[in-house]
Amino acid sequence: MSPTLDEVFRELRAKAGPAPARSDRPLSSQTLLIAMLPRTGSTALCSLLEATEVLGIPREYLNPRGPLRPWARRLSASTLPDYVEALRRERTTPNGVFSFKTLYPDLEPLLALGPLEDSLGPVAFIYVTRDDTIAQAISAYIADASGVWHRDRNGNPFRSRGGGDPNPAYDEERIRAERDEIIRMQAAWEQFFTQHSIEPLRITYERFVADANGTVTEIARHVGVEWDGEVRLDAAETSRLADARNERWAARLRTREHS
C-alpha cells in the first residue's frame, strides 16, 4: 500500500537529526502550479519548461509514492511547511520561479494548511488534460501493469519502478476502471477551480504534441515571464510510449462501446 504524505513525514521526523540551518537563499517570488492528470505528457512538458531556465524546475514534489521522500531528505525537511519553504528557496530558477506538477489528491494536504498563496506566494495555474480519454486510460493501464511510466529518448525506463508485466494482456475491465478514475480526477480539479474562482491556462496533450514550442510560449506568457527561446518535442527527456498495440486496443474498445 502506498504511503500517505503524513506517513512519510512521520518517518522522516523519527529519523531526523539536529535541525539544519535555514538557507539564506530568497523565497521564490512566483509559483507555477501544473495541475495534471495521468498520461497527459506532463513529464515531457515539464522537461521542456525546465529547459527554458525561467519556468522553474518542475517535479512531482508532493507525490508521497515517489519524489517526496528523497527530496525531503535532501532538503532536511521533516514537516510539510518546512519542506515547501525549502523547495521555494532551493528549487527555483534564477528569476525566482518555483514550479511543480501535482495530482489533485497530492495537493490536498497543502490545501489543508490554508490558502495556497500563504504557502506558495503568487500562483499561476496550468491544467493539463487529454481529449482522448480512451487512449489515456489504455496508457495508464499499460504503465501500471508494466511498472514503466516513462522511457527516455533512448528507450530506457525513466523514473519508473519496473518489475511488472512487460507485455500485459488486454483487460477491458481494468481499462474502463482507469478511465473512470481519470474522470473522477477531472471532476475534482474542476470543482477546485470553481470553488476558488481560478481560471487556469488549459493545455491538452494533443495540443502540446502538435505544437510544443507554442505551448511553452503560452505558458511563459501566462506566468508573466519573458522568454523568447525555442523548444522542440524531440528534445524532451521522455519519448512516446504508445505504439500499434495502443491503437488496436483503442479501436477494439471504441467498437465495443458503439456496438
Residue 216 has pLDDT above 70, yes or no: yes
List, for residues 74-133, the tens digit of each pLDDT value.
999 999 999 999 999 999 999 999 999 999 999 999 999 999 999 999 999 999 999 999
Per-residue pLDDT averaged across 136-155, rounded? 76
List, for residues 168-189, the tens digit of each pLDDT value.
888 999 999 999 999 999 999 9
Residue 78 one-letter amino acid: S
Q: Is 123 helix (H, G, I), strand (E, B) or coil?
A: strand
pLDDT of residue 154: 65
What does the alpha-carbon distance between residue 78 and residue 85 come to, in Å, rounded to a whole number?
A: 12
Residue 43 or residue 220, greater confidence: 220
**Residues facing residue 215 across a β-bridge:** none
Tell me the CATH number at 103.
Answer: 3.40.50.300
pLDDT of residue 141: 87
**Residues facing residue 157 across a β-bridge:** 151
Residue 20 has pLDDT above 70, yes or no: no
pLDDT-derived band of residue 244, with 50, 70 and 90 as boundaries?
A: confident
pLDDT-derived band of residue 32, with 50, 70 and 90 as boundaries?
A: very high
Helices (H) and strands (E) in the chain, counts: 11, 6
Q: What percent of the chain has pLDDT over 70?
A: 88
What does the alpha-carbon distance between residue 117 and residue 88 come to, in Å, rounded to a whole number?
A: 12
CA dihedral sign, ordered 60, 64, 66, 67:
positive
Residue 146, CA distances (Å) to 42, 67, 95, 156, 241 in order:
19, 20, 39, 13, 12
Q: Which residue, 146, 175, 181, is CA-closest to 256? A: 175
Averaging pLDDT over each range in 12-26, 206-220, 230-244, which range is the top one? 206-220
Count of structural domains, the chain:
1
Lowest mean pLDDT among 3-7, 51-55, 179-183, 241-245: 241-245
Question: Structural domain of residue 237, as residue ranges?
Answer: 5-16+24-258
pLDDT of residue 181: 96
pLDDT of residue 23: 75
pLDDT of residue 86: 96
Per-residue pLDDT averaged across 130-143, rounded? 89
Q: For residue 72, give the C-alpha cell.
A: 525531503
Averaging pLDDT over each range in 40-44, 58-62, 141-145, 252-256, which range is the top one? 58-62
